[in-house]
Amino acid sequence: MGYKFSKEEMASIFSKLAEDYDVFAPVVKKGDGTFSDVDVVRYDKVSSLDEIEFEKKSDYSFKEALLPINETIFYFTEDETTVPKGPAKERLVFLRACDLNAVKRLDQIYLKNGFEDFYYKRTREMTKFVLMGCKESCTSGFCVSMGTNTTDEYDLYLKLDGDNAYVEAKDEKLAEAFKSGNEEAVSPDFVSENPTKVTLPKNITPETMKSELFKEYGNRCINCGRCNFVCPTCTCFTMQDIFYKDNEKNGERRRVWASCQVDGYTEIAGGHGFRSDNADRMRFKVMHKIHDFEKRFGYHMCVGCGRCDDVCPEYISYSNLVNRLGKECE
Amino acid sequence: MSLDINTKKAKKNAWRITKERGIGASRIRVPGGYCDAEVLGMVQEIAQTYGNGYVHLTTRQGFEIEGIHLEDMEEVNKKLQPIIEKVGINQNGEDKDKGYSASGTRNVSACIGNNVCPFANYNTSNLARRIDKEIFPNDLHFKVACTGCSNDCAKVRMHDFGIIGQTMPQYDPMRCVSCNACVKGCQSLSVGALRLENYKIVRDTEKCIGCGVCVTKCPTRAWTRSEKKYYKLTIMGRTGKKNPRLGKDWLIWADEDNIVKIIKNTYAFVEEYISPNAPARKEHIGYIIDRVGFEKFKEYALKDVELMPETIMNNTVYWDGIHFDNQH
């Protein structure tokens, strides 16, 4: 059911919701960008509607609301371990269609990949999603090419339009909060075309893996890992055991985001690494997004949000690489 | 008829009396080296109408329009008016259409700053223009320059006052993925103030120069810049025939307002202690300090200055450099 409100009414309903839920949404962090006097849009906990950035695409994806960058798995003393408590409150996560499609990929890896991840599951079960529509396409995204421009997996759709606000509440409990509004048919804004279009390679063979393109782009890569860290579908983590300095018999084990482009990712005991060459790392990343994942789960991993292209300091365009690879495979 | 020109007056009106008799050059300072491209057309017009068609881009970020007949000075000064307004030269009201008062205090120069440069920690041109408004016009020989980071592309250490942008790096350990990009960046591009301990970064605060390389290298925004902008103030660097030397750090983690205050305060110090024999009242401030002592300088410079608690002030500053003036 859809409802219409004034923006003020919506702001006050939202503030009440934010008391019951932990709300995670894209926020403009003033001056926190890479360079001086440059902002960054990333996720944070918010308590009022006006904190949320509805216009600009977030530089970093929503995934940190489900998968903290650093997550303590357990604390250990000499003879026992303690698992930290999960989220105390239910959480609302604001995101766009591409990102909501990415949630399906995260679920695939953490819940439907042979076992259920305890930590992901307990947060995921407490999470509801609020869809932010896209009135216009962003320039770098290619969600239409990836079929991720639409979704019906949201619990709530929320749109601000001038002095008005519109919601569509699919979740019954959430709908309670909006019943005071004027009923009106509301349907999400989805884009049907992007300026960036990607054609995935059709005939990937073992030969494709040897493409010179991986060398070309690999040579330009500086192994910073930004493409992985902003990606809503990258799920890799590493483990870190921390021994507290005051008493090294106690400590904690954390899982921490990892990047297949950063040194150390494939390092094993003895110092051997499986993909020390940048071209191999580039191939691994690209093929995982457009081939390997699909082979295993039947749909592609990449949701075409375009964040990796936006963030790369070396102007490596993943979307262009894939298009060029597609031409090579014809 | 012979030319009858008050050269002293002309020089203080931003004109150069050149080696060629009867020929001058019009000097236009561009505060912070930043100007609307429209100015280039105006300079071109003067150069082609009154000059020899050539312009020198000066070492202090100005234009020097060459080959102008000195009898055209008045007319050229009129033509300078829109340029003076466009580049924001702090002109005396009564000087309208008569050029601008110059000589002594030099153009406040600046590197390109954070308008463009990924390393810069502040808008150098804006600060240069702010200082311009505060200290111009003035006869005393002051050289001030602004540079965005410790790379010091503006060579501010060769100035009486060098302003180097700093940022106090802010670290959120919970956003850090131990990728080491900052550690490597600090090691290769800066001073090596970072190390990894227990998978998190430890910053050696004694060593850190606030260059901001860690912030630019961080892929997750674990490192960000401080909301407050900080500056290092280096003092009394100079070139010249007697004892050229690099300016030394005096204030570290200082703020903009106090730095501007200190520069202004120093004018009173120079007024008081400048050598009576200084040619055309030109004496590098450093020589005056060498003569009367650093404590005296501090007394003047720090008048009404209340430094922030985090500002580090070196109580004594010793310079070296090359001595050509007292070699035996």
Whichever domain contains B189, its CATH number is 3.30.70.20
Residue A67 in domain: yes
Give the nearest chain A residue to B168 (CA atoms): A36
CB contact under 8 A, A224 and B219: yes
CB contact under 8 A, A32 and B225: yes
For residue A123, give every residue at least 6 positions away whose Cβ sits within 8 Å of its Cβ, in sequence order, or none: A66, A86, A87, A91
Residue B248 in domain: yes
- Of residues B282 and B220, the one with the higher pLDDT is B220
Claim to verify: residue A222 and residue A97 sit in the same structural domain: no
* pLDDT of B328 over the 60 cut: no
Residue A196 in domain: no
Q: Per residue in A114-125, pLDDT tens?
A: 999 999 999 999
Claim to verify: residue A238 and residue A303 sit in the same structural domain: yes
* pLDDT of A1 over the 90 cut: no
**pLDDT score, position A249:** 96
Q: What's chain B's average pLDDT?
A: 96
Claim to verify: residue B236 and residue B154 sit in the same structural domain: yes
Q: How crowded is the C-beta side of A292, counted as CA atoms within 13 Å?
A: 10
Claim to verify: residue B154 and residue B188 sit in the same structural domain: no
Residue A138 in domain: yes
**pLDDT score, position B93:** 82
* pLDDT of B127 over the 80 cut: yes
Claim to verify: residue A11 and residue A151 sit in the same structural domain: yes
**pLDDT score, position B25:** 97
Give the nearest chain A residue to B198 (CA atoms): A242
CB contact under 8 A, A69 and B176: yes
Claim to verify: residue A57 and residue A154 sit in the same structural domain: yes
Residue B119 in domain: yes
* pLDDT of A305 over the 80 cut: yes
Claim to verify: residue B209 and residue B276 sit in the same structural domain: no
B32 vs chain A: nearest CA distance in angstroms?
Answer: 18
Q: If contacts are CB pairs under 8 Å, which of residues 194-223 in chain B contact chain A?
A: 198-199, 212, 215-221
Q: Using beta carbons and an 8 Å cutoff, which residues of A are at the interface with B?
A: 29-37, 40, 42, 60, 68-70, 224-226, 229, 240, 242-243, 245, 254, 256-259, 262-263
Residues of A in contact with B178 (CB under 8 A): 240, 256
Q: Per residue in B146-171, pLDDT tens?
A: 999 999 999 999 999 999 999 999 99
Residue B278 in domain: yes
Claim to verify: residue A162 and residue A257 sit in the same structural domain: no
Residue B101 in domain: no
CB contact, 8 Å: B294 with chain A?
no
Claim to verify: residue A229 and residue A287 sit in the same structural domain: yes
* pLDDT of B281 over the 90 cut: no
CB contact under 8 A, A37 and B177: no
- Phi first, then psi, for residue B49 (nearest 5°) are -85, -45
B224 vs chain A: nearest CA distance in angstroms?
Answer: 5
Residue B324 in domain: no
Claim to verify: residue A150 and residue A53 sit in the same structural domain: yes
Claim to verify: residue B158 and residue B241 sit in the same structural domain: yes
B59 vs chain A: nearest CA distance in angstroms?
Answer: 27
The total number of structural domains that make up chain B: 3
Give the nearest chain A residue to B179 (CA atoms): A262
* pLDDT of B313 over the 60 cut: yes
Residue A219 in domain: yes
Residue B268 in domain: yes
Claim to verify: residue A300 and residue A179 sit in the same structural domain: no
**pLDDT score, position B280:** 83
CB contact under 8 A, B221 and A225: no
User: Which range marks the domain in which residue A35 is found?
Assistant: 2-183
Q: Per residue in A38-52, pLDDT tens?
A: 999 999 999 999 999
A180 vs chain B: nearest CA distance in angstroms?
Answer: 40
Residue B258 tokens read as 């106090």
Residue A25 tokens read as 């949404």
ipTM of the predicted structure? 0.96
CB contact under 8 A, B219 and A263: no
The total number of structural domains that make up chain A: 2
Q: Per residue in B172-224, pLDDT tens?
A: 999 999 999 999 999 999 999 999 999 999 999 999 999 999 999 999 999 99
- Please choose, from the candidates A295, A279, A290, the residue with its C-alpha nearest in 3D space to the C-alpha of residue A323: A290
CB contact under 8 A, B198 and A224: no
Which of these three, A131, A149, A183, is where a domain ends?
A183
Claim to verify: residue B124 and residue B197 sit in the same structural domain: no
B94 pLDDT tier (thresholds 50, 70, 90): confident
Q: Which of A126-130, B206-210, B322-326 has the lowest mean pLDDT?
A: B322-326
Q: DSSP 3-state helix, strand, coil percentages of chain B (rounded to 5)? A: 35, 20, 45
Q: Per residue in A61-103, pLDDT tens?
A: 999 999 999 999 999 999 999 999 999 999 999 999 999 999 9
Claim to verify: residue B90 and residue B45 sit in the same structural domain: yes
Rounded alpha-carbon distances, angstroms, from residue A55 to A15, A51, A58, A96, A135: 20, 12, 9, 11, 9
Residue A199 in domain: no
SS3 A176: helix
Task: Give the number of A-B residue pairs with CB atoms closer than 8 Å.
Answer: 75
Claim to verify: residue B135 and residue B263 sit in the same structural domain: yes
Residues of B in contact with A63 (CB under 8 A): none
List the single residue in B148, B212, B224 with the smallest CB-CB distance to A32.
Answer: B224
Claim to verify: residue B141 and residue B271 sit in the same structural domain: yes
Q: How far apart are CA B321 and CA B111, in angstroms?
A: 24
Rounded alpha-carbon distances, angstroms, from residue A48 to A19, A27, A182, A221: 10, 11, 22, 40
Residues of A in contact with B165 (CB under 8 A): 36
Claim to verify: residue A26 and residue A86 sit in the same structural domain: yes
CATH number of the structural domain spanning residue B261: 3.30.413.10
CATH number of the structural domain spanning residue B53: 3.90.480.20
User: Which range marks the domain in which residue B179 is found?
Assistant: 170-224
Claim to verify: residue A281 and residue A163 sit in the same structural domain: no
Give the nearest chain A residue to B119 (CA atoms): A35
* pLDDT of B299 over the 80 cut: yes
Residues of A in contact with B179 (CB under 8 A): 224-225, 259, 262
**To probe the interface with B, which of A36, A64, A230 has the most B CB atoms within 10 Å?**
A36
Claim to verify: residue B216 and residue B254 sit in the same structural domain: no
Q: If contacts are CB pairs under 8 Å, which of residues 108-167 in chain B contact chain A?
A: 114, 118, 120-123, 148, 165, 167
**pLDDT score, position A206:** 92
**pLDDT score, position B327:** 59
* pLDDT of A210 over the 80 cut: yes
**pLDDT score, position A222:** 97
**To probe the interface with A, which of B114, B221, B223, B228 has the most A CB atoms within 10 Å?**
B221
Give the residue ranges of DSSP H helices in B152-306: 181-189, 213-217, 256-273, 285-292, 294-301
Residue B78 in domain: yes
Claim to verify: residue A219 and residue A154 sit in the same structural domain: no
Claim to verify: residue B160 and residue B177 sit in the same structural domain: no
Q: For A268-285, what is the mean pLDDT?
A: 94
Claim to verify: residue B244 and residue B299 sit in the same structural domain: yes
CB contact, 8 Å: B178 with chain A?
yes
Tell whether the torsion through CA atoms of B9, B14, B15 and B18 is positive or negative: positive
Claim to verify: residue A98 and residue A37 sit in the same structural domain: yes
Q: How far apart are CA B194 and CA B200, in angstroms?
A: 10
Claim to verify: residue B256 and residue B134 sit in the same structural domain: yes
Q: Is the peptide bond before B137 cis (omega within 30 degrees of 0)?
A: yes
Residue B132 in domain: yes
